[in-house]
Structure formats: C-alpha cells, structure tokens
C-alpha cells in the first residue's frame, strides 16, 4: 500500500478481486502475444483495455476528461517479484520480452485508455516501454538512470513539439521508497506581465541527454540521421514559449536544467525566474511503492526524483515508463521522416 507524502494525490486502490483479475489478464495476454513487435497486439490494445476493471477504467477516464489534476495513482497491483527477477544492470542488451512482460502489458493497456503509446527512435533504442533504474555510470547524470544527483523537475521531452500528453510510471519495486517529485502551476503567484512574456517564444529548451547518440545504439545511416535531427535542435536553438493554451488556465513545458534565455532579454529572464520559483514552492513528493502506477499529465505537471543511494545488487528501484499521445495525426509529418517511432 502506498504512503504518499502529499495526501491530496487522487488515487484508486484495486480491490483484491480487481488486482487478481488484472494480474490474470496480463498473464493471459503475455501468453497470447509474443512481444510488442506483434502488430495484432498494438492494434488490439483498445479492445483489450476494456477487460480491465470497470472502476479503474472510469477513474482514468475522469482523470483525462476532467483536465484538472496533474497526476493520479492506481495502487494495489500484484507484481510477481520472483517472475520479474532482479533489477538489471542496464537496459541495453536485455532479452525482450523479459519476465516483466505482463507488467509492461499492463502499462500498455492503461495507455490505451488515455490515448496511444509511442516510443522515440532516439531514446532507449526505440523501445515502447522504457526501463528506469540506476545505472552505475549514470549515477551523477540528469537521467532517469541517475541516483546520486537530484533529477531536476521537468516536462517529459519538453524540447519536442510532439512530446507526450501523458506519462505512465509503473513501480515494479521501490524498496527504499524513493520519491518522485511532482509540481503544478499556481498561476495566481505570477504577475500579468510575466504571464504574457511566458506565452511568447523567448526561451530555448535543448534535448536532454537520453536522446543523444552516446546513450543509444547506432548501427545504420538511417539511425544516424535521426540523431542528426536532435543535434539540429541543439545547434539552431529555436525559441518557444513556456506556457501555452488557455490564458486563464495554461499548460506548461519546462525543463530548467536544459533551458536557456537570451542574454539580452532581461524581461524574459525575470519572468522565467519567477515561474521556476512558483513551481519550486509547490513541489510535492509522491512515493510509488511496489504495485503502484503513477499517471502524469505532461501538460499540467512537471516531475523529477530525489537523490538516493543505489546498491546495484539486483534489488534497486525499478520503474517502467510509457509515453502516451492523444492524437497520432499531429506527428504524421515528422513520423514520415522516421524521427519518431509512433504507432499507427
């Protein structure tokens, strides 16, 4: 059972019968479909998701349609630790599917209730479901694979126009109860002038390092071309807004660690600093325990992670991550250039 630091987090706890039925469903699907390379599985996801408990279906539907909350949690899943096996040393080179395939399928079913799952060709070698666990050589990096350093709060893939609408994080295990940090926007704490500036294209957000060649595998010219597009975003430094949508209830795209403001734009710097201060003041800690699934609205909430001491002994925190888009069509021009590996 989760013990969330912020008790205002909306949550749904599966009943024992619901948890058992959900586990049985995912085990059945894992025996039916070979992998996520199975086109039938990807096509069938919306239909298969209707076999999830009705209560959780309604809970996530309310989360999506309400467009008010930045995050919610579904608790109480049965994640078989023996079948899942030890926390890996690295995501690269692992057999796929692995013992945790049923848990990955669960996240994919949940993604079908919110939209369509997708993966980046430039992140974790294009896999649809990502691994999040500490890797020794990244322990001081601004990556999900880090541990010793604070993972600064951010919008997932804030640099990209086709970033995910939702992020799903499933906790296979979290023995040290490492918190995920969550922040939302208190518009009342910003001046009208600063809000106006934050809606203007006066800020640059660079791609984070998970999208760089050094953290992926390149075996062809086609793959190299995809990373060339990422490098172009770094070199050309396009400017964009940090707030968008409704002026009265805006969405946000933020990633302070990779954000820069033109040196000659003092007003933009002031507005940016004020925005970061507001988000910092409202940050909360959410502990996703084993069996919890955290859903983040990537337009309404930023997220990060507190530092922790990794053990690298097979027992460390291990999350699974899925990116979700609500509209595949908007990314069609870029998918035609094979930069992203989206379903459809």
Known binding residues for Fe cation are: 154, 156, 303
Tally Cβ neighbours within 10 Å of residue 144.
Answer: 24
Task: Show the tokens assigned to 285.
Answer: 């800690």
Provide the annotated binding site: 154, 156, 303
Cα dist from 186 to 65, 249, 266, 269, whole Å: 21, 10, 23, 19
Strands (E), the chain: 10-13, 71-75, 116-120, 130-132, 151-154, 166-173, 180-183, 204-205, 243-245, 250-252, 259-260, 284-286, 293-297, 302-305, 318-325, 340-342
Describe the strand order of the beta sheet including 180-183 as a list of residue ranges.
Answer: 151-154, 302-305, 180-183, 284-286
DSSP state at residue 203: B
Tally Cβ neighbours within 10 Å of residue 199.
Answer: 16
Cross-strand pairs, 87: none
Burial 279-309 (b: 16+ CB within 10 A, else e): beeeebbbbbbbbbbbbbbbbbbbbbbeebe
SS3 for 114?
helix
Task: Using CB atoms within 10 Å of the CB of residue 104, give its burial: 0 to 12 exposed, 13 to 18 middle, 19+ buried.
Answer: buried
Task: Show the tokens assigned to 284.
Answer: 């909360």
Q: Is the distance from CB of 332 to CB of 162 less than 8 angstroms?
A: no
Q: What angle do CA 264, 269, 272 make, to 5 degrees?
A: 150
Strands (E), 198-325: 204-205, 243-245, 250-252, 259-260, 284-286, 293-297, 302-305, 318-325
Cα–Cα dist 178/167, whole Å: 18
Phi and psi at residue 170, to the nearest 5°? -105, 125
């Amino acid at each position: 059972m989760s013990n969330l630091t912020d008790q205002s987090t909306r949550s749904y706890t599966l009943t024992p019968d619901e948890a058992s039925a959900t586990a049985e469903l995912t085990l059945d699907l894992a025996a039916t479909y070979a992998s996520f390379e199975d086109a039938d599985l990807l096509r069938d996801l919306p239909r298969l998701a209707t076999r999830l408990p009705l209560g959780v279906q309604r809970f996530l539907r309310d989360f999506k349609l309400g467009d008010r909350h930045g995050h919610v949690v579904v608790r109480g899943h049965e994640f078989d630790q023996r079948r899942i096996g030890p926390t890996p040393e690295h995501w690269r080179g692992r057999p796929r599917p692995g013992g945790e395939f049923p848990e990955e399928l669960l996240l994919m079913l949940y993604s079908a209730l919110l939209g369509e799952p997708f993966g980046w060709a430039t992140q974790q070698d294009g896999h649809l479901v990502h691994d999040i666990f500490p890797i020794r050589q990244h322990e001081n990096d601004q990556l999900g694979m880090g541990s010793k350093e604070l993972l600064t709060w951010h919008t997932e893939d804030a640099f990209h126009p086709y970033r995910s609408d939702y992020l799903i994080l499933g906790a296979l295990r979290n023995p040290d109860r490492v918190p995920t940090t969550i922040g939302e926007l208190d518009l009342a704490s910003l001046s009208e002038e600063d809000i106006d500036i934050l809606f203007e294209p006066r800020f640059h957000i660079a791609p984070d390092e998970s999208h760089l060649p050094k953290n992926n595998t390149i075996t062809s010219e086609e793959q190299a071309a995809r990373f060339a597009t990422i490098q172009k975003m770094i070199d050309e430094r396009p400017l964009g807004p940090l707030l968008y949508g409704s002026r009265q209830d805006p969405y946000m795209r933020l990633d302070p660690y990779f954000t820069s403001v033109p040196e000659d734009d003092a007003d933009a710097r002031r507005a940016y600093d004020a925005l970061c201060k507001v988000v910092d003041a409202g940050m909360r800690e959410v502990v996703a325990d084993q069996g919890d699934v955290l859903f983040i609205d990537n337009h309404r909430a930023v997220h990060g992670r507190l530092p922790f001491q990794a053990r690298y002994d097979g027992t460390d925190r291990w999350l699974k991550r899925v990116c979700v888009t609500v509209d595949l069509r908007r990314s069609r021009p870029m998918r035609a250039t094979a930069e992203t590996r989206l379903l459809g």
